[in-house]
Amino acid sequence: MKVVVVGAGMAGLTATRLLRAGGAEVDLIEGGRRAGGRARTLTDPFVGGRVVETGAEWVDTDHHRLRALLGRYGIELAPRGQEWSAIRRYLFHGGRLASADELRDADATIDAQLAALDDVFEVIAEGIADPARPDLHPDAARHDARSVADVVAELDLGPLATLFARRNAQGEFADEPSALSTLFVAQQRAQMAAEGVEGVVRAHRVVGGIGGVVRGMVGELGADTISFGQLLQAVAWEADRAIVHTDRRTIAADHVVLACSLVPMRRVRFEPALPEPLARAVAELGYGTVTKTAVQYAERTWPNGYATTELASQRIYETTEEQGDGPPVLMAYTGGDGGRRLAELDEADRIATVAGDVRSMYGVTDEPLVGVSRAWSNEPRYGGAYACYRPGQVTAHWQVLREPCGPLHLAGEHVATWTGYLEGAVESGERVAARLLGRAVVGH
């Protein structure tokens, strides 16, 4: 069996490894010059050997495939981790930095309001029998048609709870509450429940950076077996074979695994055109935006802890807190409309904006030593942060994106049950490999 895999992100690397292990002949082509895709660790230009994640950063408690991969390459998780709760350590609001306790003193009902919002998703999640098929919820169309903003409005949340709900949507789903299907958010809950996670999730960074996993996977495949700098441009396909055209080569294959995000896939020519429901799903699926901006200072002069802010940065945390002594790096994680606004600025202005927010919040008057900002929506091979199913899109597009189309198979976080995560990318690669090898499951 001859397979072309397009994209050397986590999904494409996983599919390639498992297909080769199963005896298939696999050509892995990658448009860029490096593997890893949205897993992108930097050490340069930061001083003091600091490791900074400009893309994926956290591995959650229930991300078993990722944890198995870390184990495979002898890589550890940083021990402390974070609790993924709506209210983190601090809120900067009305020109004041308040701790979570002060916040609760100021608004005694804040936890109850956020719990009421959670309950809405929880109840819908209970109706999802299989998190791989949220479209089969008995009332799927109604819940899919509602946005998270609709739910917030129905609950009549106060201003602080509304701000937290918005920051959660922008942070976890990379878009505004109005752009998010309620059924999609409930699906993610159902997935967590299926993995046995109740309540708060703990997330951990990877010691030395997530790039270590990418190096491990590339090392196992052999870097010389990946064709870098080859952009997929066209696919001619029929029932049981395909011809793939990159900007440099033409390759015939029995199957093509499209393990790149849908935004660059919209520029690929398919001959014949993809069937209407699939073509529409590829053209329309929502992508959120995240702009991550890292600013390094000579020393820590701020209180440690994850802060939510009403300022442009949205959420600021110290990304190097578990890396021992050395010049610390603060990270701004900015999603949705705020992420898009930052993306319109050049990199120096984004860094200056975040440094200005750090000054306002923490009174830090020093200039940053260095800074790096990556706006994922500006990068042509990504065109956004991760898939964000908009109102109506779970029922319209979920299943059609996950079914094979002749010799064509989509992989990547956008077609996983763990949508938006590294875990989902790996899961999707495993699923396609199992399908092509004719097995129920391929182990990780």
Nearer Cβ to ligand FAD, position 244 or 364? 244
Those residues whose C-beta lies under 8 Å from the C-beta of residue 153, and which sit 6 or more positions away, are none
Q: Does 412 bind ligand FAD (CB under 6 A)?
A: yes
Of 85-93, 260-268, 301-309, 313-321, which segment contacts ligand FAD by CB under 6 A? 260-268
343 interacts with ligand FAD by CB under 6 A:
no
**Of 124 and 285, CB closest to ligand FAD:** 285
Comparing CB distances to ligand FAD, the nearer of 27 and 57 is 57
Q: Does 39 bind ligand FAD (CB under 6 A)?
A: yes
Q: Residues 5 to 24: which contact ligand FAD by CB under 6 A? A: 6-12
192 contacts ligand FAD (rule: CB under 6 A): no
317: contact with ligand FAD by CB under 6 A: no
Can you tell me the distance from the alpha carbon of 398 to that of 332, in angstroms, rounded to the nearest whole number? 31
- Decide: is 292 part of the binding site for ligand FAD (CB under 6 A): yes
Q: Terminus-to-terminus CA distance in the chain, angstroms?
A: 21
Nearest-angstrom CA–CA distance, 418 and 409 = 18
C-alpha span between 155 and 114 (Å, rounded): 10
Q: What stretch of H or E contains 59? A: strand 59-60
Amino acid at 221: L
Q: Does the footprint of ligand FAD cover residue 376 (CB under 6 A)?
A: yes
Output 177 or 339, the one with its CB closest to ligand FAD. Answer: 339
How far apart are alpha carbons 286 and 383 in whole angstroms? Answer: 11
Among the listed residues 1, 2, 32, 197, the single contact to ligand FAD using CB under 6 A: 32
- Minimum CB separation from ligand FAD for residue 387, in Å? 8
Query: Is 110 a residue that touches ligand FAD (CB under 6 A)?
Result: no
- Give the phi and the psi of residue 82 in degrees, each rounded to 5: -130, 150
Contact with ligand FAD (CB under 6 A) among 422, 433, 434, 442 = 422
Does 260 engage in binding with ligand FAD (CB under 6 A)? Answer: yes
Q: What is the DSSP string of 323-355?
A: S-SS--EEEEEEEHHHHHHHHTS-HHHHHHHHH
Burial readout 401-422 (b: 16 or more C-beta within 10 A, e: otherwise): bbeebbbbbbbbbbbbbbbbbb
| Angle at which helices 182-194 and 393-402 cross, to 10° | 50
| Shortest Å, Cβ 27 to ligand FAD | 11
The site for ligand FAD (CB under 6 A) is made up of: 6-12, 29-32, 37-39, 55-58, 231-232, 259-261, 264, 290, 292, 376, 381-382, 385-386, 412-413, 420-425
